[in-house]
C-alpha cells in the first residue's frame, strides 16, 4: 500500500487528536489510536474521556473523567498546538458527548472530525450508556465529517439489521440523514459476504470498498485503528473516499499483523510497519 507522506526529522508533523477512552491492556482505544498515529507519522494528541479497566478477556469497568477536564484537554491542545483532524472513540455518557460537542462547536478552526460511535467492546461489554444514543445521534453526528459504525452500532443507532448490500445502503442513507457529511457502514461482520465490503455515502453517491476478510480472533482495536487512520489521511487533506480507502488498506495490514495477547483476544498491530 502507499503510505502517507512523512515529515523530515526536526520539522513539526501534522497533529491529530483522539478523544476517547484508554485501554489498560493496550489493545484498543487511545492506545490503538496512538500507535496508528505514530506509525503513520503524525503527532498524536489526546483527550482522555474515560479510563477502562480491561485486559484481553474483557472490560471490568471504567471511570469517566470530569466534563471540564474533557473539554479542557481539547481546548488546551487546539488553542496552542493546533490540530488538523480528530477522531472520537469511546465517549461513555450523554454528558461527555454533550461536552465534546459543545467544545468542538466552540473551536476557531474547521477541522475534520471522524466519529467512531463506540458502543461496546468486542466482548460485548458496554462502553456507552444506552441513554447516550440520543446525544450521539443529535449532538455529535451533525458535527462529523465521517461516521464509522460497525453493524452492531448501526443496529443500535438507526435500528437497521444489515444482512446484505441493499440493507447496507439503506443503513448508510439513514446514518447520513442524522447529519454527518459522510457515513461509512463497515461490512467486516457481514455474514453474507466472505469479504469485508464497506459502503460510504455522502447523500448523493455510494462508494464501495472491498478487502480480504482476515480470519483472526485477534481483532481488538480494529475499528479504532480504521478511524484513526482515516483521521490521519483527512489531516493530510485527502478527500473522504480516498481517506477511507487508505484507512481500509491500513487496518487490513494491521489485521494481518495481529498477535495473540493474554488469554483472550489480541490486538490488531500497527507495529508491522517497523519491519517494513
Ligand atoms: O474497540 C473499541 C474500543 C474503544 N475504546 C476503548 C475500548 C474499546 C474496546 O474494547 O476498550 C477504550
Q: Per residue, what are the HEC states of 33-96? A: HHHHHHHCCCEEEEEEEEEEEECCCCEEEEEECCHHHHHHHHHHHHHHCCCCEEEECCCECHHH
Q: How far is CA 89 from the centre of its chain?
A: 5
Q: Is residue 10 part of a domain?
A: no
CATH of residue 93's domain is: 3.40.1190.20
Tell whether the model's pLDDT for residue 193 goes beyond 80. no
In this structure, which residue's CA is closest to atom 3 in ligand 1? 29
How many helices (H) and strands (E) the chain has is answered by 8, 9
Q: Is residue 1 part of a domain?
A: no
- What average pLDDT does this structure show over 85-97? 98
Cα(60) to centroid(ligand 1), Å: 12
pLDDT class of 169 with cuts at 50, 70, 90: very high
Percent of the chain with pLDDT over 90: 93
Q: Is residue 29 part of a domain?
A: yes
- Ligand 1 binding pocket includes 20 (Cβ within 6 Å): yes
Tell whether the model's pLDDT for residue 203 goes beyond 80. yes
The tally of domains found in the chain comes to: 1
pLDDT class of 150 with cuts at 50, 70, 90: very high
Cα(47) to centroid(ligand 1), Å: 15
Cα(11) to centroid(ligand 1), Å: 32
Rounded Cα distance, 111 and 254, in Å: 26
C-alpha dist (Å) from residue 120 to 129, 149, 254? 9, 11, 21
pLDDT class of 195 with cuts at 50, 70, 90: confident
Rounded Cα distance, 109 and 135, in Å: 23
Q: Tell me the three cell numbers of residue 194.
A: 466472505
Best probe residue, ligand 1, of 56, 121, 268 (max atoms within 8 Å of C-beta): 121
- What average pLDDT does this structure show over 257-271? 97
Percent of the chain with pLDDT over 70: 100
Backbone torsions φ then ψ of 178, nearest 5 degrees = -80, -5
Sheet holding 85-88, edge to edge: 59-64, 43-54, 15-23, 85-88, 113-115, 146-147, 182-185, 198-201, 206-209
Q: Is residue 32 part of a domain?
A: yes
- Ligand 1 binding pocket includes 221 (Cβ within 6 Å): yes
- What average pLDDT does this structure show over 195-223? 95
- Ligand 1 binding pocket includes 29 (Cβ within 6 Å): yes
Q: Is residue 66 part of a domain?
A: yes
Q: Is residue 33 part of a domain?
A: yes
Cα(205) to centroid(ligand 1), Å: 31
Q: What is the pTM of this model?
A: 0.98
Most distant CA atoms of the chain, gap in Å: 49
Tell whether the model's pLDDT for residue 15 goes beyond 90. yes
- What average pLDDT does this structure show over 11-35? 98
Cα(90) to centroid(ligand 1), Å: 6
- What average pLDDT does this structure show over 67-86? 98
Rounded Cα distance, 17 and 77, in Å: 9
What value does the mean pLDDT of the chain take?
96
Q: According to the model, what pLDDT value does residue 188 have?
A: 84
In this structure, which residue's CA is closest to atom 7 in ligand 1? 29
- Ligand 1 binding pocket includes 266 (Cβ within 6 Å): no
Q: For the ranges 141-150, 173-182, 207-216, 249-258, which has the lowest average pLDDT?
A: 207-216
Give the range of the structural domain holding residue 197, as residue numbers without chain letter. Answer: 15-271
Q: For the ranges 20-24, 47-51, 57-61, 185-189, which has the lowest average pLDDT?
A: 185-189
pLDDT class of 138 with cuts at 50, 70, 90: very high
Best probe residue, ligand 1, of 20, 23, 51 (max atoms within 8 Å of C-beta): 23
Q: Is residue 116 part of a domain?
A: yes
Q: Tell me the three cell numbers of residue 36.
A: 496508528
Q: According to the model, what pLDDT value does residue 190 have?
A: 86
Q: Please report which residue ranges of 81-197 form alpha helices under DSSP H.
A: 94-106, 133-135, 151-158, 165-176
- What average pLDDT does this structure show over 107-136? 95
- Ligand 1 binding pocket includes 267 (Cβ within 6 Å): no
Question: Cell 443503513 identifies what position?
Answer: 171
Q: According to the model, what pLDDT value does residue 23 have?
A: 98
Cα(101) to centroid(ligand 1), Å: 20
Cα(143) to centroid(ligand 1), Å: 22
Q: Is residue 125 part of a domain?
A: yes
Rounded Cα distance, 232 and 29, in Å: 16
- Ligand 1 binding pocket includes 23 (Cβ within 6 Å): yes
Amino acid at each position: 500500500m502507499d503510505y502517507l507522506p512523512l515529515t523530515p526529522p526536526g520539522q513539526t508533523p501534522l497533529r491529530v487528536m483522539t478523544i476517547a477512552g484508554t485501554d489498560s491492556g493496550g489493545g484498543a482505544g487511545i492506545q490503538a489510536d496512538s500507535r496508528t498515529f505514530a506509525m503513520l507519522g503524525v503527532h498524536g494528541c489526546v483527550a482522555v474521556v474515560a479510563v477502562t479497566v480491561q485486559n484481553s478477556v474483557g472490560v471490568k469497568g471504567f471511570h469517566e473523567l470530569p466534563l471540564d477536564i474533557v473539554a479542557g484537554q481539547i481546548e488546551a491542545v487546539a488553542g496552542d498546538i493546533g490540530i488538523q483532524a480528530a477522531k472520537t472513540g469511546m465517549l461513555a455518557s450523554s454528558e461527555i458527548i454533550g461536552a465534546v460537542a459543545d467544545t468542538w462547536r466552540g473551536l476557531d478552526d474547521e477541522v475534520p472530525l471522524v466519529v467512531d460511535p463506540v458502543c461496546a467492546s468486542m466482548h460485548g461489554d458496554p462502553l456507552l450508556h444506552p441513554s447516550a444514543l440520543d446525544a450521539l445521534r443529535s449532538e455529535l453526528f451533525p458535527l462529523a465529517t465521517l461516521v464509522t459504525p460497525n453493524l452492531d452500532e448501526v443496529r443500535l443507532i438507526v435500528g437497521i439489521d444489515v444482512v446484505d448490500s441493499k440493507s447496507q445502503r439503506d443503513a448508510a442513507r439513514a446514518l447520513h440523514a442524522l447529519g454527518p457529511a459522510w457515513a461509512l457502514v463497515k461490512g467486516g461482520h457481514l455474514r453474507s459476504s466472505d469479504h469485508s465490503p464497506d459502503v460510504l455515502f455522502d447523500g448523493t453517491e455510494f462508494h464501495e470498498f472491498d478487502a480480504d476478510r482476515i480470519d483472526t480472533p485477534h481483532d481488538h482495536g480494529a475499528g479504532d485503528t480504521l478511524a484513526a487512520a482515516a483521521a490521519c489521511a483527512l489531516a493530510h487533506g485527502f478527500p473522504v473516499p480516498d481517506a477511507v480507502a487508505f484507512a481500509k488498506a491500513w487496518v487490513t495490514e494491521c489485521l494481518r499483523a495481529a498477535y495473540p495477547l493474554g488469554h483472550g483476544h489480541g490486538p490488531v498491530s500497527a507495529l508491522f510497519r517497523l519491519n517494513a
